[in-house]
Structure 1
Amino acid sequence: MSRAARREQLLDTALAMVRNHGADRLTLVTLAEAAGVSRPIVYDHFGTRPELLLALYRRLDEKLRRTAEQAALAAAPDRTELARVLSAAYFACATDMPEFDAISAALKGNPEVLAIQLAMLDSYRDWMATTLLPYSHLTAVALRLRCVAVLGAAETLGAELNRGAITADDAVEALTDLIASSIAARPPAGDAGR
């Protein structure tokens, strides 16, 4: 098996472990056992548990980003439709990737990892703001702040969805309304020059 294929196999196994048993039981040793490989192979690919968790986080983040980008490209050129497809893509990933929250929680407390997570979030937020800008009267700065708020709301709605408190349709409708109304707003009077 090639190095890249082995890495993908290990990540697939690790995601299944998190999905079935939670992130706390995922270690490099338990991954080696579950994947049927020697410990040095796993250590060679990831080095440490935080590196493994970060690789999983990146993989899931890339999937979310690809799904959202594809949805945005396929959307009709309409603010509400774009908001709907972005919302639907976000929650499709939330339901398809319930391990995302567990991995994120397991990474908390590591300042190096936090910086990487924040950089990925910033990149997604900036992409989202750029995608929504043609449909908004807001300045780029004001729209970026709205995207920060929208992503915070999306994360909370995703948690509600994953614990069964709301349906996917409820989550999509709420986030669609929030995005569409947020980007339709006029910038505050003091924001016109930004």
Structure 2
Amino acid sequence: MARTNAARPPTRPRGEAPGKRLPKAERREQLLETAEQIAREEGTEALTLGHLAERAGVSKPIAYEHFETRSGLLIALARQIDDRQVAALIEALKRTQKRLEDVARVVSAAYMHCCATVGPQWFAILAALKGDEQMDAVERELLDRYVTIYRDALAPCVQLSKRELHLRCVAIIGAAEALAAEMFRGRTDESAAAKALESLIVQWLSKGG
């Protein structure tokens, strides 16, 4: 949604009095929460450090102290969104039996649900940072993290070497991204995309394949 010209009241953490100084970690969390709200309501094009400071009810130097640049803010926001999704996936895996079918179902459903819920924000951030070398490195790092999570979750369920399983998980993440793209184009829905990814994982990894 395009940013409007209407004045908006500053956004403060619930219960925070004007002028209250928060510990640095809490202030950063407040700023990121406000940044995510701006991105959701107004679009990433509205997400500047000056506008963030205004919405959060702090001075511009505070926003610059935490993120330095607009790119730094967007990258921090991307990391926070991804960290939240990873935490939910890991928690779900803790409750999942170490059976290939069960693990495949959980990771597939989690991936597609993540894409359906925060995908638009995520891709808007990527578009805003297209060509940014630091964001390219961060994106590779986050993809590698998913590969590692999948590999470690699937390892007890398959008869493959660690290296072979790692390579197959790289390909699985690639397939997941392709299915997510189909979902964003309106050619499939979240449930069908998750089922397709689940089937691919089971068929490719069962009995060492």
Instruction: Give me the TM-score of the superposition, normalised by structure 2.
Output: 0.81
Checking the alignment, whether the CA contact within 8 Å between 2:34 and 2:56 is kept in structure 1 is yes
1:120-173 CA-to-partner distances (Å, cap 9, x unmatched) read 221221221121112122222221121112112222322333454322211211
For 1:75, the equivalent position in structure 2 comes to: 96
Checking the alignment, whether the CA contact within 8 Å between 2:105 and 2:195 is kept in structure 1 is yes
Checking the alignment, whether the CA contact within 8 Å between 2:49 and 2:64 is kept in structure 1 is yes
Select the residue among 135, 142, 147 that pairs with 2:157: 135
Indicate yes or no: 2:108 matched with 1:87.
yes
1:17-69 CA-to-partner distances (Å, cap 9, x unmatched) read 22223222211122122223221111011101111111111111111211111
Once residues 160 and 30 of structure 1 are traced to their aligned partners in structure 2, the CA distance between those partners, rounded to angstroms, is 34
Question: Would the alpha carbon gap of residues 156 and 25 (structure 1) be closer, same or farther in structure 2, given more than 3 Å must change?
Answer: farther
Checking the alignment, whether the CA contact within 8 Å between 1:91 and 1:172 is kept in structure 2 is yes
Rg comparison, structure with higher value: 2
Checking the alignment, whether the CA contact within 8 Å between 1:28 and 1:48 is kept in structure 2 is yes
For 1:106, the equivalent position in structure 2 comes to: 128
For residues 41-80 of structure 1, what are the structure 2 equivalents within 5 Å? 41-80=62-101
Once residues 58 and 178 of structure 2 are traced to their aligned partners in structure 1, the CA distance between those partners, rounded to angstroms, is 38
Indicate yes or no: 2:185 matched with 1:173.
no
SS at match of 1:165: coil
Write out the 4+ residue segments of structure 1 that deviate beyond 4 Å after TM superposition.
none
Higher helix proportion: 1
Question: Would the alpha carbon gap of residues 19 and 159 (structure 1) be closer, same or farther in structure 2, given more than 3 Å must change?
Answer: farther
Once residues 132 and 183 of structure 1 are traced to their aligned partners in structure 2, the CA distance between those partners, rounded to angstroms, is 9
Number of residue equivalences: 187
For 1:39, the equivalent position in structure 2 comes to: 60
Question: Would the alpha carbon gap of residues 66 and 173 (structure 1) be closer, same or farther in structure 2, given more than 3 Å must change?
Answer: same
SS at match of 1:97: helix
Checking the alignment, whether the CA contact within 8 Å between 2:176 and 2:197 is kept in structure 1 is yes
Once residues 133 and 171 of structure 2 are traced to their aligned partners in structure 1, the CA distance between those partners, rounded to angstroms, is 23
Structure 1 unaligned spans of 5+: 188-194
For 1:96, the equivalent position in structure 2 comes to: 117
For 2:176, the equivalent position in structure 1 comes to: 154
**Pairwise CA distance, 1:72:** 1.3
Checking the alignment, whether the CA contact within 8 Å between 1:138 and 1:184 is kept in structure 2 is no
CA RMSD of superposed structures (Å): 1.9
For 2:7, the equivalent position in structure 1 comes to: none
